[in-house]
Chain A
């Protein structure tokens, strides 16, 4: 709330949310947050739930909850009704804001009062002075985010005020954006990057535009018509944007207004980022690595590092294009083996992080931080000589074949460099002799030729023979969730017949 109050004080009449003409100003957003806070204080809700797409109401809801000292809980509105209702009941009593016409989805849950987004008051009544009657307590829970649950029951990650404020103060310069700047947000509000986008851009003084349902054509149109300068996408979105730009033909208009494009939230296929760099020569690319539990970004690969990497003849520098860059100034990264000892530079292990923005705490499960503040991300990775972080994937996804731990990311990274491979996933399936066998699902580029033998030979040449796939399955597409995470569990089910019974 402090962040919004400063922005409202610094650039009251600037447009904060929505189109350049007719959007909400920072002063209006402040008044809208006050109205949300009043509404929360007049009832006994202990959480503010959102079961809605990204809308112009979202920033006022996020800040209004903070103003009233009530945690904000954005839910995945795409979940089936039953799962959505289970999550809402976990945070009862709550006020739940729903997409117009859908409040029935949350009707009849004890302690849940629903309100249609369309009938929310837009601002404080004229009679109420806009005064800061909020208090700042760093230990207050600001946001509860349910993890996507790709591996089981969703956990509720807790982000306290102090984590988010540390992240914003550590990574954003107040008022750094020019009045003409606009950021396009296309990740949903229940993704940590969606929350971080609102906080970062408000604090920078940058107008936020929202695309509630991603579609590459609509995204490109918005960038052009609203002269968007900054945007964040997940890798699957960038792949579709690149495809769309390519299809525009030999005389493309490009995206001249787009100064900065950041991506994260999953692994980026090398051909996609390389093509994006070619298609958008004036755009500065940023790769961000972060987790819900770390208040978004903890490491990033900056624009100059992208261009340096792609221009370099040195394989060690060129390889950095697939790295997550280096830790933010307030964040430390440590790679550790299973015993918890730090591994030598270049050796893979588990990624641990530490910093004031790192929460690592879950509702009902407590904190996963060690006594001295380190958080095990559950991602595997390694650091190169200059401290660049390479993320190889979730530790839970590791394939165990004949007692050897094999990271799928390592095999996928090699295969993604093959010119005929559009996308790939390596998984372990049951094998009576070896425990697990390595099965690789490959999406081939249309019209390109390759074979199982060729791909296996590539892995054998680049890695070790024990990394060689036992089976290559050519598929039409891989299963992803709507925020671009590969659903390995679903893929394992789809390909279960390739393992032993």
Chain B
């Protein structure tokens, strides 16, 4: 289990997805992409492809949250794998669009 700190970056091992942690609860959490654990960029052992059950893809600039909204991650590079934690897929955070103010 890895301690997720806000600002830490994670790379998928089965696709091109990369994320940055915006908000995380304390304690160990294993982020997954395409059904496989994510790793620190440059430190993993990328191979294989996303599990078909987790292959809807990640979208650049979208934020993903867990059910109780304690975990929020931002997709900084898109890929074919879906983001999840402990076998459960994360949901897309819907933001109400605001008018540009600056």
Contact = CB atoms under 8 A, between A and B. Distances in A.
Interface of A: 2, 5-6, 9-10, 135-138, 161-162, 165, 169, 171-176, 183, 193, 196-197, 200-201, 203-204, 230, 232, 260, 262, 264, 284, 286, 288, 290, 296-297, 300, 302-303, 328-329
Given A138-B7, A329-B96, A174 B101 contact: no
Contact of B62 (A172, A174, A286): A174
Interface string B46-81: 000000000000001111000000000010110000
Contacts of A300: 98-99, 101
A176 B62 CA distance: 11
A286 B100 contact: yes
Nearest to B74: A169
Is chain B's interface secondary structure helix, strand, loop, or mixed overall?
A: loop
A478 to B, nearest CB: 25
Nearest to B63: A169
A230 B101 CA distance: 9
A329 B100 CA distance: 14
B101 A232 contact: yes
B6 interface: yes
Closest 7 CB pairs of A and B: A174-B61, A288-B101, A196-B102, A136-B7, A297-B101, A197-B102, A286-B99
Nearest to B77: A9
A155 B95 CA distance: 35
Contacts of B96: 329
A200 B101 CA distance: 9
Contact of B76 (A5, A137, A175, A230): A5
B99 to A, nearest CB: 5
Contacts of A9: 60, 76-77
B22 interface: yes
B20 interface: yes
Contacts of B97: 173, 176
29 contacts: A2-B74, A6-B60, A6-B76, A9-B76, A9-B77, A136-B7, A161-B7, A162-B7, A169-B74, A172-B98, A172-B100, A174-B60, A174-B61, A175-B61, A183-B100, A193-B102, A230-B100, A232-B101, A262-B99, A262-B101, A264-B101, A286-B99, A286-B101, A288-B101, A288-B102, A290-B101, A296-B101, A329-B95, A329-B96
Interface residues on B, range: 20 to 34
A296 B100 CA distance: 12
Interface centre among A171, A296, A328, by most chain B C-beta atoms within 10 angstroms, is A171
B60 A302 contact: no
A69 to B, nearest CB: 12
Nearest to B72: A169
A234 B22 CA distance: 32
Contact of A262 (B20, B62, B100): B100
Contacts of B74: 2, 169
A194 to B, nearest CB: 8
Given A162-B6, A329-B96, A10 B102 contact: no
A264 B24 CA distance: 34
Contacts of A329: 95-96, 98
Contacts of B20: 2, 136
A161 B20 CA distance: 14
Given A6-B61, A10-B60, A138-B7, A284 B76 contact: no
B63 A200 contact: no
A200 B77 contact: no
Contacts of A203: 61
Contacts of B9: 136
Contacts of B22: 165, 169
B94 to A, nearest CB: 10
Nearest to B93: A169
A10 B74 CA distance: 14
A27 to B, nearest CB: 15
Contact of A303 (B7, B62, B77, B99): B99
A10 B61 contact: yes
Nearest to A286: B99
Contacts of A302: 98-99
Contact of A138 (B6, B60, B61, B102): B6
B63 to A, nearest CB: 7
Contacts of A328: 98
Interface centre among B6, B74, B101, by most chain A C-beta atoms within 10 angstroms, is B101
A173 B99 contact: no
B8 to A, nearest CB: 8
A165 B63 CA distance: 13
A290 B62 CA distance: 26
Interface string B3-38: 000110100000000001010000000000000000
Contacts of B95: 173, 329
A208 B35 CA distance: 40
B76 A2 contact: yes
Contacts of A169: 22, 63, 74
A92 B7 CA distance: 28
A478 B97 CA distance: 38
A220 B27 CA distance: 55
Nearest to A195: B102
Contacts of B99: 260, 262, 284, 286, 300, 302-303
B100 A260 contact: yes
A115 B62 CA distance: 39
